[in-house]
Amino acid sequence: MSETAFQIFVNALLANNFVLAMFLGLCPFLGVSGKLDTAFPMGVATTFVMLVASLCAYGLNLLLSAFHLEFLRLISYIVIIASAVQLVEMVLKKYSPGLFRALGIYLPLITTNCAVLGVALFQTAREYDFIQSMTFSFGGGAGFTLALVLMASVRERLQLSNVPDVAQGTALSLMLAGILSLSFMGFAGLGG
């Protein structure tokens, strides 16, 4: 792999933004992006889970490859991610109960956030080394947070504007996401 860590980071953050270019993690993206003050913590929590999952997945992949058990990869990754989410959930519940309630059902659903599993699968498929894996997952998480915050800000503005009745709800969010995605295409080629 000839990519430098910086290129990987920029690629994951902007050019190949997880949400807007690779369609990973759309459920929380559409679900939690209604308000800015839940969107940002959700992004941070997801980033944290991604980092933990990426770290564990890297170690686990070495172990599985050593024993030629590659077919267990998917199952073991998902178990690791579920445990990491459980950890974050317990920490949040203890130190920030208000936030814990605000995130509600979307917190355990980080387990089924494809962005998290996507990080683990992509870093394996692209054979990143340790440093590359960590930068990749951090860039991906930051990109997810960025997309979530952008979307939440736009949606907060929209609440005050006059939108045709038919377009209310998911259809409108999807159109917005399309426009955001269109503008993110301008970053293509930035990471080299």
Partner 1 sequence: MTPTTTRGWDEFMEGIWRQNPVFVMVLGMCPTLAVTVSAENALSMGISTALVLIASCGLVSMMRDITPKEVRIAVYIVIIATFVTVVDYAIQAISLALYDALGAFIQLIVVNCIILGRAEAHAAKNPPLPAMINAAGMGAGFTIGLLALGVVREILGAGTLFGVSLFGAGFQPWVIMVLPPGGFFVLGSWLLLFAAVERRKQRKLAEQGEVGQNV
Task: Give contact residues for partner 1 (rule: CB under 8 A).
Answer: 20-27, 30, 71, 74-75, 78-79, 82, 108-109, 111-114, 116-118, 121-122, 125, 165-172, 174-175, 177-179, 181-182, 185
Look-up of token digits 């990109």 = 143
- CB nearer to partner 1: pick between 95 and 162: 162
b/e code 162-175 from CB counts within 10 Å (16+ = b): eeeeeeeeeeebee
Provide, rounded to whole angstroms, the least separation between the CB of residue 190 and partner 1. Answer: 16
Provide, rounded to whole angstroms, the least separation between the CB of residue 36 and partner 1. Answer: 21
Provide, rounded to whole angstroms, the least separation between the CB of residue 109 and partner 1. Answer: 8
- CB nearer to partner 1: pick between 4 and 176: 176
Q: Cα(87)–Cα(104) distance, rounded to whole angstroms?
A: 15
Provide, rounded to whole angstroms, the least separation between the CB of residue 89 and partner 1. Answer: 12
- CB nearer to partner 1: pick between 6 and 168: 168
- CB nearer to partner 1: pick between 51 and 119: 119
CA distances from 62 to 28, 129, 167, 171 (A): 31, 11, 49, 43
Q: How many CB atoms lie within 10 A of CB 179?
A: 10
CA distances from 176 to 24, 152, 155, 187 (A): 16, 11, 9, 18
